Structure 1
Amino acid sequence: MNTLSYKTVSANKATVDKQWVVVDAEGQTLGRFSSKVAILLRGKHKPGFTPHVDCGDNVIVINAEKITLSGNKLDEKTYIRHTGYPGGQRSLTAKVMQQKNPALLVEKAVKGMLPKNKLGAELFRNLNVFVGAEHTHGAQKPKTVNLNDLK
């Protein structure tokens, strides 16, 4: 009997092909940029994507200080945290956060787009954000990816 047989292949930690990629944040909008970086971290751009496995790439973001926000978000968007003490709620605007630590702005946006579980925490460790065009991962020989070509 001549029949076609298709098997669903599920990736695991041993069979996954992880790569190092560099993306440039210069001139990109924060939200659109972060969603594409989250797709790279998750591995959804690969044909062998498996939802419960870290099958994404290690992503290096450069020029984090040159990212833009659309509209009035630079002045109106607030980031709220709590110290843990009574009356310890603190807030920062996006403009202040960009001046203090522009890498944190990108990290918070990408982290919010990852799963809220152990897998999301593991995926977030694969993100490296740098201020400026230089990064410290030259030994990994990362390839440059143009996010405009990705979906």
Structure 2
Amino acid sequence: MSSKEKIEINSQKTTILPVSQEEKWYFIDVNEVENKAPGRIAAEISPYLQGKKEVDWFPNFDREIRVVLVNASKVKFTGKKLNDKHYYRHSGYPGGLKETSAKIMLEKNPIKLMESTVKGMLPPNRLRKRRMNRLFIFPDQKHNLQAQEKDFVKINI
């Protein structure tokens, strides 16, 4: 090859075609889940929020997927975790570390319990907050999403 010939390198580029952004609603009832541990439920919710269950998944492309979780107060802890597991938060001030047991958290605010569990399962990137906003958790069977019920896809975990 002479120096005047151009060398062409086949470089393959992946482009994302504009995909229709239709909302998808997934519905999970904790009463119908066999193993009701919060971590196992969150591990099933996380891929749906990330869009990994979709055919056209891309890591940097955020889908309009919403997940509804009802009966969050019915989650079960195995072994001694109900009393021994603790959730921590910090106020930002010196000595401001607050500690709450799983039992108290489940009684007072089961929504916060499941939110923190699912948040821990999502990757810590710029999309996590947006994905968490698309998670709807309700402590009992009642929810305010009656208009979307026709679009619900029931997930059996």
TM-score of the two chains, using structure 1 as the length reference: 0.84
1:95-119 deviation line (CA, Å, top 9, x unaligned): 1100110111111100111121221
Matched, 1:10 2:23: no
The CA distance in 2 between the partners of 1:63 and 1:80, in whole Å, is: 24
The CA distance in 2 between the partners of 1:51 and 1:73, in whole Å, is: 34
Which residue does 2:144 correspond to in 1? Answer: 136
1:42-75 deviation line (CA, Å, top 9, x unaligned): 1111111111121262011100000112222111
Bigger mean CA offset, 22-31 vs 109-118: 22-31
Matched, 1:114 2:114: no
Unmatched segments (≥5 aa) in structure 2: 1-12
**Cα RMSD, aligned residues only:** 1.9
Is the Cα contact below 8 Å between 1:102 and 1:131 reproduced in 2? yes
1:14-56 deviation line (CA, Å, top 9, x unaligned): 5344311211122522111101111111111111111112126
Is the Cα contact below 8 Å between 1:41 and 1:123 reproduced in 2? yes
The CA distance in 1 between the partners of 2:77 and 2:134, in whole Å, is: 24
The CA distance in 2 between the partners of 1:108 and 1:36, in whole Å, is: 15
Runs of 4+ aligned residues of structure 1 deviating over 6 Å after TM superposition are none
The CA distance in 2 between the partners of 1:48 and 1:17, in whole Å, is: 13
Aligned residue pairs total: 141
| Matched-pair identity in % | 34
SS at match of 2:127: helix
